[in-house]
Protein backbone atom coordinates (compact mmCIF):
# COMPACT_ATOMS: atom_id res chain seq x y z
CA UNK A 1 0.00 0.00 0.00
CA UNK A 2 1.13 3.57 -0.66
CA UNK A 3 0.10 6.73 1.22
CA UNK A 4 0.64 10.33 0.16
CA UNK A 5 1.41 12.69 3.03
CA UNK A 6 -0.24 16.09 3.26
CA UNK A 7 0.07 18.97 5.69
CA UNK A 8 -1.83 18.21 8.86
CA UNK A 9 -5.25 19.83 9.26
CA UNK A 10 -8.16 19.25 11.63
CA UNK A 11 -10.01 17.27 8.92
CA UNK A 12 -7.07 14.84 8.64
CA UNK A 13 -7.45 13.93 12.31
CA UNK A 14 -11.19 13.14 12.19
CA UNK A 15 -11.70 10.05 14.33
CA UNK A 16 -8.02 10.05 15.41
CA UNK A 17 -7.49 13.23 17.40
CA UNK A 18 -7.37 17.00 17.11
CA UNK A 19 -4.95 19.71 16.15
CA UNK A 20 -4.33 22.00 19.11
CA UNK A 21 -2.67 24.90 17.30
CA UNK A 22 -0.59 25.62 14.26
CA UNK A 23 2.52 27.73 13.53
CA UNK A 24 0.17 30.35 12.02
CA UNK A 25 -1.13 31.25 15.50
CA UNK A 26 -0.48 34.85 16.61
CA UNK A 27 3.01 35.51 17.89
CA UNK A 28 4.20 38.04 20.48
CA UNK A 29 3.09 41.54 19.48
CA UNK A 30 5.65 44.35 19.29
CA UNK A 31 6.15 45.84 22.76
CA UNK A 32 4.75 42.76 24.57
CA UNK A 33 6.98 40.38 26.52
CA UNK A 34 4.99 37.25 25.73
CA UNK A 35 1.85 35.79 24.25
CA UNK A 36 -0.20 33.14 26.06
CA UNK A 37 -3.53 31.50 25.38
CA UNK A 38 -5.19 28.32 26.61
CA UNK A 39 -5.41 26.12 23.54
CA UNK A 40 -7.18 23.14 25.08
CA UNK A 41 -8.92 23.13 28.44
CA UNK A 42 -8.93 19.35 28.85
CA UNK A 43 -6.29 17.13 27.25
CA UNK A 44 -8.10 13.99 28.41
CA UNK A 45 -5.30 12.90 30.73
CA UNK A 46 -7.32 11.67 33.70
CA UNK A 47 -4.47 10.38 35.85
CA UNK A 48 -0.93 11.50 36.60
CA UNK A 49 0.82 12.29 33.36
CA UNK A 50 4.42 12.41 32.22
CA UNK A 51 6.35 14.10 29.44
CA UNK A 52 9.42 13.07 27.53
CA UNK A 53 11.32 13.90 24.40
CA UNK A 54 11.48 11.60 21.40
CA UNK A 55 14.20 11.98 18.78
CA UNK A 56 13.21 10.37 15.49
CA UNK A 57 15.95 9.16 13.14
CA UNK A 58 15.86 9.78 9.38
CA UNK A 59 15.02 6.50 7.62
CA UNK A 60 13.02 5.15 4.69
CA UNK A 61 9.31 6.00 4.99
CA UNK A 62 8.06 2.42 5.33
CA UNK A 63 5.64 1.29 8.03
CA UNK A 64 5.34 -2.42 8.82
CA UNK A 65 3.72 -2.07 12.25
CA UNK A 66 1.72 0.42 14.27
CA UNK A 67 1.20 1.07 17.96
CA UNK A 68 -1.63 2.33 20.16
CA UNK A 69 -2.48 3.09 23.78
CA UNK A 70 -5.88 1.90 25.02
CA UNK A 71 -5.93 3.85 28.31
CA UNK A 72 -4.60 7.31 27.42
CA UNK A 73 -4.59 9.95 24.72
CA UNK A 74 -1.15 11.12 23.53
CA UNK A 75 -0.02 14.70 22.92
CA UNK A 76 2.75 15.30 20.36
CA UNK A 77 4.57 18.64 20.11
CA UNK A 78 6.92 19.06 17.14
CA UNK A 79 9.88 20.79 18.80
CA UNK A 80 12.49 20.57 16.07
CA UNK A 81 12.10 19.57 12.44
CA UNK A 82 9.19 18.70 10.17
CA UNK A 83 8.03 15.07 10.03
CA UNK A 84 5.52 12.71 8.49
CA UNK A 85 3.40 10.58 10.82
CA UNK A 86 1.34 7.55 9.82
CA UNK A 87 -2.02 7.36 11.69
CA UNK A 88 -5.25 5.35 11.78
CA UNK A 89 -8.45 5.73 13.83
CA UNK A 90 -9.08 3.52 16.88
CA UNK A 91 -10.25 0.07 15.70
CA UNK A 92 -9.52 -3.61 15.89
CA UNK A 93 -7.32 -4.81 13.01
CA UNK A 94 -9.03 -7.11 10.48
CA UNK A 95 -6.84 -9.66 8.67
CA UNK A 96 -3.75 -7.65 9.63
CA UNK A 97 -5.13 -4.43 8.13
CA UNK A 98 -6.19 -1.07 9.56
CA UNK A 99 -8.89 0.97 7.84
CA UNK A 100 -8.52 4.64 6.93
CA UNK A 101 -4.75 4.88 7.39
CA UNK A 102 -3.31 8.26 6.50
CA UNK A 103 -0.01 10.12 6.51
CA UNK A 104 0.21 13.73 7.69
CA UNK A 105 3.06 16.21 7.70
CA UNK A 106 3.59 17.86 11.07
CA UNK A 107 5.61 21.09 11.00
CA UNK A 108 7.89 22.38 13.74
CA UNK A 109 5.71 24.14 16.32
CA UNK A 110 2.54 22.17 15.63
CA UNK A 111 0.79 20.31 18.44
CA UNK A 112 -1.84 17.60 18.22
CA UNK A 113 -3.49 15.11 20.50
CA UNK A 114 -4.30 11.54 19.48
CA UNK A 115 -7.45 10.04 20.89
CA UNK A 116 -7.21 7.00 23.14
CA UNK A 117 -6.68 3.94 20.92
CA UNK A 118 -5.54 5.84 17.80
CA UNK A 119 -2.93 3.88 15.84
CA UNK A 120 0.34 5.64 15.01
CA UNK A 121 3.99 5.07 14.24
CA UNK A 122 7.25 6.86 14.96
CA UNK A 123 7.49 10.11 12.94
CA UNK A 124 9.71 10.21 9.84
CA UNK A 125 11.85 13.38 9.64
CA UNK A 126 11.66 15.23 6.32
CA UNK A 127 15.28 16.38 6.61
CA UNK A 128 18.41 14.26 6.86
CA UNK A 129 18.66 14.86 10.61
CA UNK A 130 16.64 13.72 13.62
CA UNK A 131 13.36 15.45 14.44
CA UNK A 132 12.44 16.03 18.09
CA UNK A 133 9.01 15.76 19.71
CA UNK A 134 7.71 16.40 23.20
CA UNK A 135 5.38 13.52 24.12
CA UNK A 136 2.80 13.76 26.92
CA UNK A 137 0.63 10.88 28.13
CA UNK A 138 -0.40 8.97 31.26
CA UNK A 139 2.47 7.85 33.50
CA UNK A 140 3.86 4.37 32.76
CA UNK A 141 2.16 4.20 29.36
CA UNK A 142 5.30 2.70 27.82
CA UNK A 143 5.34 -0.07 30.42
CA UNK A 144 1.61 -0.76 30.84
CA UNK A 145 -0.30 0.48 27.80
CA UNK A 146 1.62 -0.14 24.60
CA UNK A 147 0.14 -2.45 21.98
CA UNK A 148 1.85 -3.19 18.66
CA UNK A 149 0.25 -4.55 15.49
CA UNK A 150 2.19 -5.99 12.53
CA UNK A 151 0.57 -4.90 9.29
CA UNK A 152 -0.32 -7.58 6.73
CA UNK A 153 1.22 -5.36 4.04
CA UNK A 154 3.99 -2.82 4.52
CA UNK A 155 2.97 0.80 3.85
CA UNK A 156 5.16 3.11 1.80
CA UNK A 157 4.76 6.85 2.38
CA UNK A 158 5.34 9.49 -0.27
CA UNK A 159 6.15 12.80 1.40
Q: Could you report the per-residue pLDDT of 129-158, keeping only the tens digit for each?
A: 999 999 999 999 988 999 999 999 999 999
DSSP letter, residue 94: B
Residue of 136 and 45 predicted with greater confidence: 136
Topology of domain 2-25+49-158, CATH: Jelly Rolls (2.60.120)
Q: Which of 10, 44, 12, 13 is nearest to 24 (CA)?
A: 10
| Residue 9 φ then ψ, to 5° | -145, 160
Can you give the pLDDT at residue 44?
74
User: What is the β-pairing status of strands 131-138 and 74-80?
Assistant: antiparallel
pTM confidence score: 0.84
Number of Cα atoms under 13 Å in the Cβ half of residue 74? 27
Q: Could you report the per-residue pLDDT of 87-105, keeping only the tens digit for each?
A: 999 999 999 999 999 999 9
Per domain, the residue ranges of the chain are 2-25+49-158
Rg (CA), the chain: 16
Q: Are 79 and 130 in contact (CB under 8 A)?
A: no
Amino acid sequence: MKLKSRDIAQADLHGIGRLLFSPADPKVKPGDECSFAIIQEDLGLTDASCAGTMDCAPRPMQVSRMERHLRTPEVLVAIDGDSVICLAPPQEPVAGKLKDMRAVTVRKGQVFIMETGAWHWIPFPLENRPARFLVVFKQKTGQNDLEFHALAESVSIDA
